[in-house]
A and B are shown apart, each in its own frame.
Chain A
Amino acid sequence: MNFMGYERPDGSIGARNYVLVIPSLLSGLVASKICEFVDGTRTIVIASGNFEGHTNHDRAIADRALIGLGLNPNVASVIVDNEYRSVLPLSEEIAKSGKRVETLDPAKDGGTFGTIEKGVQLAREMVREASQMRRQEFDMGELTLAVKCGGSDATSGIAGNPVVGHVFDRIIDAGGAAIFGENTEIVGAEHVLAKRAVNKEVAQRILKAADDIDAAVKSTGEDLRTINPTEGNKAGGLSTIEEKSLGAIHKSGTKPIEGVLEYGERPPGKGLWWCDNNPGMNIFTGYAASGAQLTIQSTGTTSFPTAYDLLLPSTGVVAPHFYTTANPRTVALAPTSIDFYSGGVLEGTDTIESAGEKLLEMVLDVVSGTMTKVETIKHQNPTSFYLRDPVF
């Protein structure tokens, strides 16, 4: 099956066609002003924009995420504002893809205001240049998809997640890549996942990631049962982390796990990858940095308050965000946020395969240009990166 996308100089295929403005780690002011002025641009709103005091390992993760966003196939070209606080050469690394990369430097470009003016004019030129590109037809094996489950309830593990898993299987069969993750939410299911690892080393890394979380919780003296599953998960029928995890891993489908990725790391090959990330919303930023053209949230949300009609817009920055659920209450609650309903599996009107094929069709339509429901919302939640070292 095919989709319509934008071919990039490195051979990757974009589902969107943005000019990305990477903010200075000192302040996102210049980048956000450029994006306010110029249509067709995107920037990342970083909650804690300055990584001073972080270990070199963590600062490299942050930089790698920024580079990854620039390399994402949905990005046509990139403006980097003032990269001197970075430990990796952002513009140089992104330019290796053959994409146009421009840099801004307030020391040379007339301070903050001069830099905004230069950036606005550059961005205007670059979005016009990008708009001259046309979508062409490509095989769905060019796609990298990523999934997180959120607000999981009893419907997630038995219908919502396996339907997404079917799409993962199909994309991987076509030669594509797929990423899932969330270290806390494999705890209790790690032995099942490890059996799907391509080799012993990958299996060991998966088992260790789960053990590390178990040990980390124990070191705090806290009871994981009071943290995860969340109160919302419990109100939705999930009793233990083991139950939540055993349902959560169904979002990955059935293919072998090729390897373990760090937050924001790009998969070194095709197939299915497990990312050692944390179940927070910044996961989508990491998935976009890993190269996902689309992020999927498989949601349950039995417990959501009735006023919660607009689900969170993406933190994927350049990757559109797609919501699926198998819970009819969630569809009724948030019809303007949910893109796909997989509850037919529980009603008996669909199987996991038949619902999965419908979802695949919709996914291909979205990566061909149709906007997801929350993609129409301009608001961007600030995001952060998954950094695990202490700060000094």
Chain B
Amino acid sequence: MPFSGAIMISDKDNIAVCLEDIEAGADVEVRLGGEVRVVTALEEIPFGFKIALADIAKGDHVLKYGESIGLASSPIKRGDMVHVHNLEGGKGRGDLETGASR
């Protein structure tokens, strides 16, 4: 993989996308345009998956592209991987409906 570190898309974002397989404990260089910040990964995070740039409380918005991509379904620590286990989408939730057609 010729990519490295992680990439942020908007300065509002509280996650970044890892561009390489990250090992637990690794210091990850997170780029936003020309700016670089460093976040320590608390766990292994594979290429393409998200790393939290800040602590995110349960029920708070996870932000990418400067927009909400869903709510934290459990407390997230800076450096955690963010994916379906701790991030929940709120659209098309027929499972939460009562009186659905079948």
Between B46, B95, B96, B102, the greatest number of chain A beta carbons within 10 A of the residue's beta carbon is seen for B95
- Chain B, interface size category, equals 35 or more
Q: Quick one: closest B residue to A344, CB to CB?
A: B2
Min CB distance, A157 to chain B, in Å?
7
Q: Enumerate A345-386 residues with CB–CB distance to B below 8 Å.
A: 346-347
Pairwise interchain contact A214-B92, C-beta atoms closer than 8 A: yes
CB within 8 Å of B: which A210-245 residues? 213-214, 217-225, 227-228, 234, 236-237, 239-243
* A302 interface hit (Cβ, 8 Å): yes
Smallest CB gap from A347: residue in B = B2
**A187 interface residue per 8 A CB criterion:** yes
Name which residue of chain A comes closest to B65, CB basis: A246
Could you say which residues of chain B place their CB within 8 Å of the CB of A291?
A: none
Is A116 interfacial (CB 8 A cutoff)? Answer: no
Identify whether the interface residues of B are mostly helix, strand, loop, or mixed.
loop
How far, in Å, is B16 (CB) from chain A's closest CB? 10
Residues A242 and B82 in contact, CB atoms below 8 Å apart = no
Q: How far is the CA of A328 from the CA of B46 in the complex (A)?
A: 15
Q: How far is the CA of A240 from the CA of B89 in the complex (A)?
A: 5
Please state if B3 and A154 are interface contacts (CB–CB under 8 Å).
Answer: no
Interface positions, chain B 64-97, Cβ under 8 Å from A, are: 64-65, 67-70, 82-84, 87-97
Residues of B within 8 A of A (CB): 1-3, 7, 9, 17, 19, 46-50, 64-65, 67-70, 82-84, 87-97, 100-102
How many angstroms from the CA of A251 to the CA of B87 in the assembled complex? 25
B83 to chain A, nearest CB (A): 5
Given contacts A221-B101, A239-B84, contact A246 B67 (CB under 8 A): yes
For residue B61, which residue of chain A has the nearest CB? Answer: A242
**B101 and A158: CB pair below 8 A?**
no
Which residue in B1, B47, B92 is a CB contact (below 8 Å) of A218?
Answer: B92
Interface, chain A (partner B; CB < 8 A): 153-155, 157-158, 187-189, 192, 213-214, 217-225, 227-228, 234, 236-237, 239-243, 246-247, 302, 328, 343, 346-347
Say yes or no: B67 contacts A189, CB within 8 Å.
yes
Q: Given A187-B91, A239-B83, A328-B1, does the pair A221, B97 have CB atoms closer than 8 Å?
A: yes
Provide the bound-state CA to CA distance between A221 and B99, in Å: 8
B47 CB contacts on chain A under 8 angstroms = 154, 237, 302
Q: Are B70 and A224 in contact, CB atoms less than 8 angstroms apart? A: no
In the bound complex, do residue A154 and residue B48 qualify as a contact, i.e. CB atoms below 8 Å apart? yes
- List 19 A-B residue pairs with CB atoms under 8 Å apart, sorted by A's residue number: A155-B48, A158-B9, A213-B92, A214-B91, A217-B91, A218-B94, A218-B97, A219-B101, A221-B102, A223-B92, A224-B91, A237-B48, A239-B83, A239-B87, A240-B70, A240-B88, A243-B69, A302-B48, A328-B1
